[in-house]
Every structure is written in structure tokens, then in C-alpha cells.
């Protein structure tokens, strides 16, 4: 049922990418997105068939019980989970299964691209967590998918950021940014798979991932709403459309800059808090694995668990992402606009953009962030008890 619901939602996104299109390439992007998605969905279904062949049914509780009862890894079970990981990797935009994602974002209208970057990604991560953490997570020790997921996480965040650096298309840049953020969340899941975390550490990491998915809706959807205001001028696919935006509409430009800083993980915005929670969770998992008698940083790093380096990878990639996020801010505030004409007055859209920017700040500091974390914690407790 989980996979069927996931595919029904994905089918809707394929249609939206091809139907609501800004450019003529939208149809091509939608077709490519559909073909790649269908092939990888078929791979996932084949993986499910192997799990059914191994266990006799696909009930989550039965699969988890059978998995715990295994004394040695069954090839059908391992390959089945691996193939489903490939399918879910496409849903969340993980490398190297993300190749159709940038074209889909660039070819679709901005609101549709925003939907793909938020709701669609969250849906994929929920399915992935149910598979990895409920079914295949052993009672003790590391999960068999630990190394693979760790490599995918590092490759995903690095590939996404490097590709975004070379892009002059704002929507394509945001697409690669979305790929990088998938890598950050996969790193947190990989830390859980290490088996080093206790129940509190596992809960902290899941809370960090879910919190990031929630606030990502604000500072990822927000930029696409800004670009949708520029679609009426036919230039939202070019970086030049953002030139001098601060002169044309200061409130929208300031909101866009808030979104960029939050995506980069700059305090005091919610993107910083969510990344901090993930990094803190990973460091807590690996805490104490380095030698306490180490007399130098080098000797300590040789003894620390490799999971620690996932946190380092997140920090380094976040620093790298600042380059292209700040480039958007630079062209908005320092470049001369191609037209001095004010943006078309769309009150509801402008209100949504400014509202997303304000919530991006409020969910990063103060009581609202604590309230949201309490809600997320309750949701995670329910998820882990399912």
C-alpha cells in the first residue's frame, strides 16, 4: 500500500511537470521525468517481489520480525531492499538517481517545481525511513546498508552543490540545491544505521530530518514563488531576471535573500537550526569513539568512527553552497535591473512570499521553533511506535 500511494502521487507530479510548463521544453522534461521515474519504479516493484518471495507477505511488522530473525543475510532480502532503495533514491532526488530532476524543475512552472522540491521530497523520505528504520534496522549493530547510504549521502550533497555552482538557471540551481539537501538528510539516516546511537540518539536524528523537511517547505517553496512572479516576464529561467530585484520590489528581494541564507544554513534562520540538529545528532552518535588519550588532532581523527566525517561533509558542503546562494543575493542588490518597471502587483502571492520569509526566521529562533520541535517530536514518537 505504501508503494502504491507513493506511485499515485508520483503520477500526478509527472502530469504536472508536462502540463503546466513555462517553456516548450516542459513537455520534454515531463516525458523524461516520467520515463526515468517509471523505470526506477519498476526496479522498486521488482525489489518488492523479491521481498515477497523471501518473506511470503509485505506486511511491515512481519518483514521487520523476519529481518530480526535472520542469522545470515538472505540474498533475496538484501537485493530486494537494495532495489527499493534505488526507487526511493529517485523520489528523494539522491545521486546518481537524480538525473531527471533538474530538467523537471527547469521545465515545469515555478509553483509545480516548488511542489516537487517540498511535498514530493518529504513523501519519498517518509517511505525511505519506514523501509530502512522500521523493517531493516537491526536490534544491535550496524545496518547492512550503512556504507552504501553513507557514500550516496556524501556523493549527493557534493554533486548537488558543485552542479549548482555552474548553473545560471535559477530553477535548475534550486533543483541541484534540493539534491544537496537530500544528501544532508541521508547522512543523518546513515548515522542511525551505524548502530552506535541509543534510542535517544536515534530519536534526535529522526527529529532533525523531519524538522528539516517541515521547514524546508518554507525556504524552498518561497524562492519558487518569487520566480513565479517573474514568469510573467518570461525570464525566470535566467539569472538575469533577478538583477536589481531589490530596486523593483525590496520586500520580495529581502524575502528571497532570507530564503537563500536559510538554505545555506546561516543563523538565525530555521535552515541553520535544522542543519545544526542533524550535525549535532551525527556528532553525538560518534562521540566517544576517538581515543581519549590522543595527544593530537591527527591521532584522534584516526580513532574516531567514520560516521563523524558525515557531519564534516555537511559543514563543508554548506560552506560551498554559500557561493551560489550569495551570488543570487549579489545580483539582486548590486546589479542594475534590466527594467525599472515594478513587478506585477499580485497581493496574495507577495503575502505568501513574505509570510514564508517571516516563518523561516521565527522557526529558527524563539518559542515558535520550540513549539514546532515539540510537534515534530510527538510525530516521531508516533512514527517509531508504528
Please check whether residue 63 is in contact with residue 131, taking contact to mean a CB–CB distance below 8 angstroms: no
**Residue 21's beta-bridge partner residues?**
108
Mean pLDDT for the chain?
85
**CB neighbours of residue 332 within 10 Å:** 25
Residues 6+ apart with CB under 8 A from 208: 188, 274, 277, 278, 280, 281
Please check whether residue 343 is in contact with residue 353, taking contact to mean a CB–CB distance below 8 angstroms: no
7-65: per-residue pLDDT in tens?
A: 787 788 887 777 765 556 667 777 888 888 889 889 999 999 999 999 888 888 888 88
Taken in order 194, 195, 198, 199, is the CA torsion positive or negative?
Answer: positive
pLDDT beyond 70 at 302 = no
Shortest CA distance to 130 belongs to which of 91, 163, 93, 161? 91
312-335: per-residue pLDDT in tens?
A: 999 999 999 999 999 999 998 887
* Gap between the Cα atoms of 96 and 347, Å rounded: 40
Is the entire prediction scored with pTM above 0.75? Answer: yes
Residue 21 dihedral angles phi and psi, to the nearest 5°: -125, 140
Amino acid at each position: 500500500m505504501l508503494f502504491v500511494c507513493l506511485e499515485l502521487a508520483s503520477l500526478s507530479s509527472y502530469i504536472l511537470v508536462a502540463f503546466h510548463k513555462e517553456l516548450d521544453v516542459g513537455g520534454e522534461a515531463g516525458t523524461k521525468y516520467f520515463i526515468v521515474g517509471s523505470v526506477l519504479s519498476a526496479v522498486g516493484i521488482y525489489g518488492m517481489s523479491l521481498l515477497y518471495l523471501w518473506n511470503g507477505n509485505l506486511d511491515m511488522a512481519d518483514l521487520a520480525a523476519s529481518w530480526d530473525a535472520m542469522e545470515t543475510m538472505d540474498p533475496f532480502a538484501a537485493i530486494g531492499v537494495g532495489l527499493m532503495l534505488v526507487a526511493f533514491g529517485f523520489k528523494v532526488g539522491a545521486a546518481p538517481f537524480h538525473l531527471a530532476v533538474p530538467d523537471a524543475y527547469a521545465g515545469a512552472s515555478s509553483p509545480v517545481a516548488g511542489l516537487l522540491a517540498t511535498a514530493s521530497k518529504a513523501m519519498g523520505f517518509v517511505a525511505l525511513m519506514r523501509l530502512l528504520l522500521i523493517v531493516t534496522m537491526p536490534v544491535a549493530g550496524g545496518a547492512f546498508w550503512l556504507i552504501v547510504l553513507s557514500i550516496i549521502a556524501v556523493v549527493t550533497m557534493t554533486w548537488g552543490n558543485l552542479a549548482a555552482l555552474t548553473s545560471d538557471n535559477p530553477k535548475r540551481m534550486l533543483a541541484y540545491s534540493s539534491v544537496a539537501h537530500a544528501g544532508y538528510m541521508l547522512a543523518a539516516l546513515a548515522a542511525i544505521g551505524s548502530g552506535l546511537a541509543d534510542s535517544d540518539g536515534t530519536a534526535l536524528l529522526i527529529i532533525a530530518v523531519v524538522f528539516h523537511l517541515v521547514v524546508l517547505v518554507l525556504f524552498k517553496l518561497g524562492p519558487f514563488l518569487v520566480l513565479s512572479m517573474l514568469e510573467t516576464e518570461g525570464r525566470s529561467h535566467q539569472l538575469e531576471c533577478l538583477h536589481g530585484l531589490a530596486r523593483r520590489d525590496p520586500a520580495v528581494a529581502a524575502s528571497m535573500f532570507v530564503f537563500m541564507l536559510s538554505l545555506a544554513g546561516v543563523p538565525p534562520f530555521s535552515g541553520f537550526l535544522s542543519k545544526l540538529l542533524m550535525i549535532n545528532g551525527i556528532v553525538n552518535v560518534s562521540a566517544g569513539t576517538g581515543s581519549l588519550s590522543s595527544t593530537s588532532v591527527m591521532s584522534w581523527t584516526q580513532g574516531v568512527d567514520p560516521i563523524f566525517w558525515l557531519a564534516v561533509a555537511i559543514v563543508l558542503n554548506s560552506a560551498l553552497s554559500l557561493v551560489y546562494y550569495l551570488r543570487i543575493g549579489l545580483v539582486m542588490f548590486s546589479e542594475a535591473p534590466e527594467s525599472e518597471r515594478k513587478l506585477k502587483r499580485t497581493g496574495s502571492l507577495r503575502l505568501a512570499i513574505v509570510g514564508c520569509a517571516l516563518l523561516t526566521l521565527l522557526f529558527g529562533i524563539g518559542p515558535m521553533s520550540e513549539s514546532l520541535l515539540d510537534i515534530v517530536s510527538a510525530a516521531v514518537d508516533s512514527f517509531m511506535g508504528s
